[in-house]
Structure 1
Amino acid sequence: MEKNSRKNNRRHGARYRARRRAVDILFEAEARDIDPVAIVEDRVELSRRPDQPVKPIADYTRTIVAGVAVELDRIDDVLDAVLADDWELHRIPAVDRAILRMSAWELLFNPDVPRPTAVVEGVELASEYADEEASSYINALLDDVAKKAEHFREEFQREDEEAEGSEEPESTPTEDATEEPAEAPAPETEVAVETPDTPENPENSEPQEPEESPQES
């Protein structure tokens, strides 16, 4: 990615250089269609080798790249929302898109950076990499994002809460369900009780004939 040929006499601090490196990586990742975090990891490894003239990656560069990678969908939705009706994010120059994504991440997801600083640094990067026209519309877009940042954050929070509420907790077996069922009590057996024989009812019994006595001869 070529920088603007215009001479820039402003002295930039470490944070600005970290932002510029992040923009370079985001631009390269989109051009190569790879994960920007993978590029950072590759650069970190190369910077440790003495035979490779690769500068170390600043911590803030890594923070920006990782943050943009995680929140890319939300960042792009915000940028689409503030773009004019006749503009589309995927149709603007790739370097402008990388700058906007980097600055939008700072405005929306990094409360440690003052909003005016994020806007000014983004516009400064645009003036370094693009023309005056690009700097002008990038300034307008970032200013709009800064004004609506709180609104967008509230939307993100609601989305997160709704997502958490829609997740059903995994059912865990209850204590009663894990216990083995108790054995059912054995049915009571009837115990036969012996009763003494009772004589037959004389009223119901048939009369017996008396035995004949022997006659005298």
Structure 2
Amino acid sequence: MNRHTAREKAFQILFQLDINDNEPKTAIQDFLETEETNEFLAALVEGVSENKNEIDNIIDEHLENWTLKRIAAVEKTILRIATFEIKFINDIPVSVSINEAIELGNSYGDDKSGKFINGVLSKIIA
């Protein structure tokens, strides 16, 4: 599984975790069923889950005219993944994290999601 696919699956798992309070490892196993767990996917899901409060604070500090509670679950989940990558994983270029987040936003959000995600992440890295 490449990193793009791992991000997409991590997004789906984290989105479910936001709705259903479950353990990250259990959620990964349930989602993947018979498919083998990917190290990067597990790192994203577990890392975002473990650092959720800190990540949410970082995002919240960089929102203008928005609050974290007002952001749709899709965009919030994508922002959490990208913020985790930017702040906690050193071997991924920031531009890759942002581009991947925009792509996820365009795929799973509405027609303005990618632009919104890009704006927030641009402020986080500034």
Find the counterpart in structure 1 of residue 28 from structure 2: 40
SS at structure 2 position matched to 1:132: coil
Q: Which secondary structure does the structure 2 equivalent of 1:113 belong to? A: coil
Corresponding letter in the other structure for 1:83: L
Partners of 1:96 and 1:126 within 8 A in 2: yes
Matched, 1:80 2:60: yes
Equivalence map 1:122-133=2 (5 Å): 122-133=101-112
CA distance in 2, matches of 1:119, 1:97: 14
- Residue 107 of structure 1 aligns with which residue? 86
CA distance in 2, matches of 1:36, 1:90: 22
- Matched-pair identity in %: 30
Tell me which stretches of 4 or more aligned residues in structure 1 moved more than 3 Å.
Answer: 41-44
Q: Write the distance in 1 (CA, Å) between the matches of 2:37 and 2:69.
A: 28
Work out the CA distance in 2 between the residues paired with 1:125 and 1:99: 7
Offset, 1:43: 4.2
Which runs of 5 or more residues in structure 1 are unaligned? 1-12, 48-54, 148-217
How many Å separate the matches in 2 of 1:56 and 1:125?
Answer: 22
TM-score, with normalisation over the residues of structure 2?
A: 0.92
Shift of 1:133: 1.1
Asked if 2 retains the 8 angstrom alpha-carbon contact of 1:107 and 1:115, the reply is: yes
State the secondary structure of the residue aligned to 2:91.
Answer: coil
What RMSD in Å do the two structures reach over aligned CA positions? Answer: 1.6
Cα drift, residue 130 of structure 1: 1.1
Q: Could you tell me which residue of structure 2 aligns to residue 118 of structure 1?
A: 97
Deviation at 1:144, TM superposition (A): 1.4
| DSSP-derived class of the 2:36 partner | coil
Question: 5 Å matches for 1:176-195?
Answer: none
Contact 2:13-2:31 at 8 Å conserved across structures: no
**In the aligned structure 1, how far is the partner of 2:118 from the partner of 2:25?**
27
Q: 1:137 aligns with which of 110, 116, 119?
A: 116
Given that 1:37 and 1:69 are in contact with CA atoms closer than 8 Å, whether structure 2 keeps it comes out as no
**Residue 5 of structure 1: aligned partner:** none
Alignment partner, residue 192 of structure 1: none
Candidates 3, 15, 18, aligned match of 2:6: 18
2:16 corresponding residue in structure 1: 28
Q: Is the 8 A contact 1:43 1:56 kept in 2?
A: no
- Provide the rounded CA distance (Å) in 1 between the counterparts of 2:4 and 2:14: 15
The one-letter code sitting in structure 1 at the alignment partner of 2:97 is A
Higher radius of gyration, 1 or 2: 1
Task: Give the deviation of 1:18 after TM superposition.
Answer: 0.4
One-letter amino acid matched to 2:85 = E
Higher relative contact order (CA 8 A, sep 6+): 2
Change (3 A) 1:43 1:132: closer
